[in-house]
Structure 1
Amino acid sequence: MSVPQLRIAHEIVGNAVVVHVAGEIDMANAPVIKAHLDRACHRAHPPQTVVADLTEVVFLGSAGLSVLLEVDEACRGRRTPLWVVATTPGVVRPLRVTGMDQVLKVADSLDSVVQTA
């Protein structure tokens, strides 16, 4: 079984700065993903929203969970909310098990976030 290659892309959708991530988020690549999300956070200006689109992520490890918390805090400090879009079991389950789905703003579709942003 091969490990999905990490892919990251940025785009502006409506009033949201979106970072699309595909592959796995683990200890090895968490710093790269954090750098991309930090860049989006600094690029967004209130009332814009930052969105971490993780719909193509198959694994979210503890390092990735930490990144999401750190970026959420940074975005809150800039008054640009962070939304996490998650649909795969490899992302939804860790968010639920750790209770982070109660701490972070989590949605099941990019469209639902963009419509409210």
Structure 2
Amino acid sequence: MGIRPTRIGIAPDRRPLADDIVVHVAGDIDLFTAGQFDAGLLQAEGLTVEGGRLLLDLREVEFLGVAGLHVLDLAYRRCARRHVGLLLLAARKAITRPITLAGLHHCLNR
């Protein structure tokens, strides 16, 4: 069995006339990409304003591992300290189920 190639894409986008930052995420979020995922979220969090929201569009994420869930939990805690809402957009059960089991279900926008 070979090593599975991992890939992740992160693209922050400020919504015009709003305090929302949208981050489009695609690919696999696992042990190999968690650091890159966290760095991208930190960058996006730096663009947020108090009372705004950080919207993570996870609809193109194919795999979300434990390391990715840990990064999401850290991002949720950082956002809460800054009074920024964290909203997760996900459609696949393979992504929403781990998020729910990790206790981040309140962040899901279904």
Aligned-pair distance for 1:99? 3.4
Question: Could you tell me which residue of structure 1 aligns to residue 26 of structure 2?
Answer: 22
Q: 2:103, 2:74 → 1: CA distance? A: 16
Mapping for residues 92-107 of structure 1, pairs under 5 Å: 92-102=96-106, 105-107=107-109
Query: For residues 59 and 43 of structure 1, do their structure 2 counterparts lie closer, same or farther at Cα, with a shift above 3 Å needed?
Result: same
User: Is the CA contact 2:19–2:49 (under 8 Å) kept in the aligned structure 1?
Assistant: no
**Structure with more helix by fraction:** 1
Opposite residue 89 of structure 2, the aligned amino acid is: V
* Corresponding residue number in structure 2 for 1:49: 53
Cross-structure match for 2:36: 32
Q: Show the counterpart of 1:11.
A: 13
**Alpha-carbon distance between aligned partners in 1 of 2:96 and 2:54, rounded to the nearest angstrom:** 19
Q: What is the distance in 2 between the residues matched to 1:8 and 1:82?
A: 16
Percent identity between matched residues is: 31
The residue type equivalent to 2:54 in the other structure is V
Compute the TM-score of the two structures, normalised by the length of structure 1.
0.80
**TM-score (structure 2 length as normaliser):** 0.85
User: Residues 41 and 6 from structure 1, CA distance in 2 versus in 1: closer, same or farther, beyond 3 angstroms?
Assistant: same
**Contact map agreement 1:58 1:89 (CA 8 A) in 2:** no
Match for residue 62 of structure 2?
Answer: 58
Provide the aligned C-alpha RMSD in A.
1.7
Structure 2, unmatched stretches of 5+, are none
How many residue pairs get aligned? The number is 105
TM-superposed CA distance for 1:3, in Å, is 5.5
Q: Which runs of 5 or more structure 1 residues have no equivalent in the other structure?
A: 109-117
Runs of 4+ in 1 over 2 A off after TM superposition: 2-5, 96-100
8 Å CA contact 1:57–1:90 kept in 2: the answer is no
